[in-house]
Amino acid sequence: MILVDSNMWAYYFDSTLPEHVKVIKPLESLLKKNQVAVNATISVETLHYLVKRLGPLEGEKKGRVFLSYGMPLYEIDEQVVELTLTKLSEFTHLGIGGRDATILATMSLEGIHNLMTHDQAFRRIPEVDVVDPI
C-alpha cells in the first residue's frame, strides 16, 4: 500500500501543470493494482485544490472521479490527532507541519512506509520511503 499525497493528485488531475505527464502512468498503475490510499487531510486538500484551481464545475467533476476510486480513506480520529502531535514535535525541525504530521501519523498507525509525494520534507523522515515520479 502507498499513501498518495495531495500534490500528486493535483498533478494527476490538472493537465495544465508540467508535472501532469510524469505522474499519470505511475499513479494509474498503482490505482489498477488497488495499492493507493489517502487520509482525510489529503482528500480535503485535493478537493480544495481541484475546485479552486479548476473552478466549481470542473473541479467538482474531477473531485467526484477522485472520490470514486474506492481507495482506503483513513479518518483523522483522536488517536491520529494524538500521534500527529508527537510527529509534529519530533519532525518540525525538518520542515514537517501539521498537515504533513497527519500523514506521518496515518502511515505509522496503518503500517504504511511508502509515500508518493513531491514534498521534499518527507525525504528527511527515516521511516518514510518516498516515491517521487517527478
Domain membership of residue 98 (yes or no) is yes
What's the pTM? 0.95
End-to-end CA distance of the chain: 20
Q: Could you tell me how far CA 124 lies from the centroid of its own chain?
A: 17
Residue 53's pLDDT band (cuts 50, 70, 90): very high
| Count of domains forming the chain | 1
The predicted-structure confidence for 6-37, as pLDDT tens digits, reads as follows 999 999 999 999 999 999 999 999 999 999 99
- List the grid coordinates of 133: 515520479
pLDDT, mean of residues 93-121: 97
Q: Determine the 3-state secondary structure of 24 from DSSP.
A: helix
Percent of the chain residues topping a pLDDT of 70: 100
Indicate which CATH number applies to the domain containing 29. 3.40.50.1010
DSSP 86-127: HHHHHHGGGT--HHHHHHHHHHHHHT--EEE---GGGGG-TT
Q: Are 115 and 130 within 8 A, CB to CB?
A: yes
Amino acid at 123: R
Residue 124's pLDDT band (cuts 50, 70, 90): very high
Domain hosting residue 111, numbered range: 2-123
Domain membership of residue 101 (yes or no) is yes
Domain membership of residue 69 (yes or no) is yes
Instruction: Name the one residue in this structure whose C-alpha cell is 514535535.
Output: 89
Domain membership of residue 129 (yes or no) is no
Mean pLDDT of the chain: 97
What is the per-residue pLDDT for 9?
Answer: 98
Domain membership of residue 132 (yes or no) is no
